[in-house]
Structure 1
């Protein structure tokens, strides 16, 4: 399908292939952002309750095939996955409380780092736009920020506390090092690095008292320009937020 006429509503989705391989629930998916560069074909990562992640690539004929099974790094469900912006590293977060970093070396994917620190299930992983920071969130109510060092080493830059229930998802602003987390405690928190204090702090909390959600907030997504953010909740609503306001002011929904 070369053209999609959204104005006239002529959008038709057609299944082109079913990908089988996982033996338990598939939790998350992530497209490799580097596809098309350097001859890399369209590439997709998936993760599952079968304790594995899988790499899928589209071949010259147009069909998709599993090219790698990433296993033995986790001993429980792999809940989330995310490619670094350059597409060379894949992070997987697991219910075993660890995050694994994978890299393709010599044609095979290898676990080059295991990030430990969370006390309970890792629910989400997210890279910032430069790939210098990786955020992870957990059922232990915390958000961790990991700073990438040479040689695929990761240092814990901050442990962020504030949520009172498990944190469902984290995501970075597409252009700035602004991190947003959403939680079972019904709130949305915005985090910034404080240069004066050499740490990270919550600069805004969006909850019921600020036109927020009245039940669990499950996910968020930024627009490509970063001027809008959408959140979804158990309260049966989606909320679209204007992110151009000063973080010290009340959020605008």
Structure 2
């Protein structure tokens, strides 16, 4: 990264969203919003049994446009790629499916049942035809979207020996993280039968996590994955396959000593910092947060060529919230915005202030 210092970056709070009456457990940006003239939309969920839909107005501030009532604590939410369906996993062992049926109007159209314990996480596949759920019963369920707003379970994946904390669909592969300290990579073995198989387990050497894996995120080009754990470490993984026909992931580096309490979430910035020629591509960036109330942003250390792939701390925002930061998410369409959610009942919108102007040119 040329022509400026790492000290030129700042994470600036631009708005605090209030309205939840309990802990805000997570946030998710709605895809394809905040670009092409469409206002940005962000979703938050809480143990107050509600989901809130926030929309950016013409002044650039977010306003709550809808409140969806659930029957219990909402653990996780995810938008389908077409952004018409919102899946919400709940502590009552169900997953609710909401449909955007009009301007700021949502209808609960289906309830997925089958898990025997709290449903922890949900993820849609790329085309929105399948979603995966996981939970405290150690299983992962694959659901297919059928005509007429119907859903059918096509497969139940067993392989983890403890509760499954996170599922993340990426391209043709499904990733899962568990309290058994492992990350598993799953691939559909037979489309007709709906059978899936685990093709790799990351957790069988001294370089792997030693406690529950709580979050996963991927770089834009899918060559790298970041994970975090209750073991207070962040790990970077690299994909060694060139054509993606077979995923082979290996440990690249471990970051430790940056958080002294549980790290709940990591999220990779999937947009380039600047519009520059490929050979001058800027380093990659991801954020982390947890029970220490602090948001940290890490950047690829391109100056360190001796030890291979490494990352270093770009900046940290102390006391980002009054208590635990449960989630941080980069806006998928705007490289500047980061949202965070906390036990203090608030959502915050942050701007990554860089040493160049809005067009991506270096500031004079």
Which of the numbers 87, 90, 104 marks the counterpart of 1:94?
A: 90
1:96-111 residue pairs with structure 2 within 5 A?
96-107=92-103, 108-111=105-108
Aligned to 1:241: 237
User: Larger radius of gyration, structure 1 or 2?
Assistant: 2
Equivalences, count: 245
Secondary structure of 1:9's counterpart equals helix
How many angstroms apart in 1 are the aligned matches of 2:236 and 2:6? 24
Residue segments in structure 1 that go unaligned for 5+ positions in a row: none
Aligned to 2:48: 50
Q: State the Cα distance separating 1:124 from its structure 2 match.
A: 0.5
How many angstroms apart in 1 are the aligned matches of 2:10 and 2:53? 27
Residue segments in structure 2 that go unaligned for 5+ positions in a row: 253-364
Tell me which moved more, 239-248 or 133-142: 239-248
Which of the numbers 30, 33, 40 marks the counterpart of 1:32?
A: 30
Secondary structure of 2:205's counterpart equals helix
Contact 1:194–1:201 (Cα < 8 Å) also in 2: yes
How many angstroms apart in 2 are the aligned matches of 1:165 and 1:191? 17
Aligned to 1:219: 215
Tell me which moved more, 11-20 or 153-162: 11-20
How many angstroms apart in 2 are the aligned matches of 1:185 and 1:133? 25
Q: Normalization by structure 1: what TM-score?
A: 0.89
2:246 aligned with 1:251: no
How many angstroms apart in 1 are the aligned matches of 2:122 and 2:5? 35
Residues 149, 252 of structure 1: CA spacing in aligned structure 2 closer, same or farther, 3 A cutoff? same
Q: State the Cα distance separating 1:210 from its structure 2 match.
A: 6.6
Q: What whole-Å deviation, never above 9, does each CA across 1:105-126 have from its counterpart, x for those lacking one?
A: 1331111111111111111111
Q: Normalization by structure 2: what TM-score?
A: 0.63
Contact 1:230–1:238 (Cα < 8 Å) also in 2: yes
Q: Which has the higher strand share?
A: 2
How many angstroms apart in 1 are the aligned matches of 2:86 and 2:247? 34
Q: State the Cα distance separating 1:9 from its structure 2 match.
A: 3.5
2:182 aligned with 1:182: no
2:115 aligned with 1:113: no
Q: State the Cα distance separating 1:228 from its structure 2 match.
A: 0.8
CA RMSD between the two structures: 2.1
